[in-house]
Structure 1
């Protein structure tokens, strides 16, 4: 296979593992609606870093790390669920204003991009998706020793994920003309509730497995 084919396969994987609506999608939409295109993409890039890490682990077949991840699913669920619940409460209690958003709180965006990184890194669904997809690639996966081909595929994953965040942020920004402070407040309540529900579902799944 050619490097272009590896890049395209990685690109498709990046899109399909990022597109399902989850906690980071909620955060990116919230920031794009409140503060515009750049901030929505910026938050999404935090998750792209986590995706690239998992893609690299999967495609390079780092067995020790892969086995550790597979053996620590319960811990990943506990940490991920806690992050979602804590951040959901934070979002619910935040009352944004368009006037403040126009100035752009860079410190806040960095903090939320970091939160997006850890949410993606501790999301059991993300872990399972990468393990399953790369495990099933077969001959479509770069051969052993083809380091450059593997790097190209990882870059493709990052490119696909980034393209998704650009698309989502662009669509939200395109239709944000009717947004006011009241709308942002309601959106934060909805987003906060969704994040807490995601976290609660993770704990419910964990308890179900235990019992």
Structure 2
């Protein structure tokens, strides 16, 4: 399963969400790859620090590069149960490839940072991914300061969500996930005793992202016996 995290600003929220989702997924016993678009990314340093400190669960951190991204993803899918991709903030070909291949797209967004140009640029990318793969789930998640409860920010974020067909806003709200230092190679989900409330928010987002959609049951035809319904 491929989960892509993308946003329209170069803040730390995207990378922090990607790392926590990868850690929680690996903790469930799955073989997980944390991948990034582009040739260089701060996630490498984070992954190296995590390995050096022998922090568990261990994560395989890789780059998708800038060419043949589709082939690289196909190769990783044969090696891992799950791939969590930090797809960046720029509208690049590799980002579009990742979004088109994802099962779930997560968009961390701050209402106060939403601008019209950025909204339409990101909405185009997300709608293009949905056109390519109608089954993709697009999930926005609000990121805010601990004291931030301004209704104008919430309204701006909801308007952003509504520009993307079938997208929805996650019920969980993340409070400044990138503002805290947990040590080299660590994230909030490695430090739950320090910030249990923030860790709970990440756990809630994880459950939203990896929730299995319930298939709609077909109504049985009248007068026709259905397998498993007899008796």
The answer to which structure has the higher strand fraction is: 2
TM-score by length of 1: 0.24
Q: Which has the larger radius of gyration?
A: 2
Higher RCO (C-alpha under 8 Å, 6+ residues apart): 1
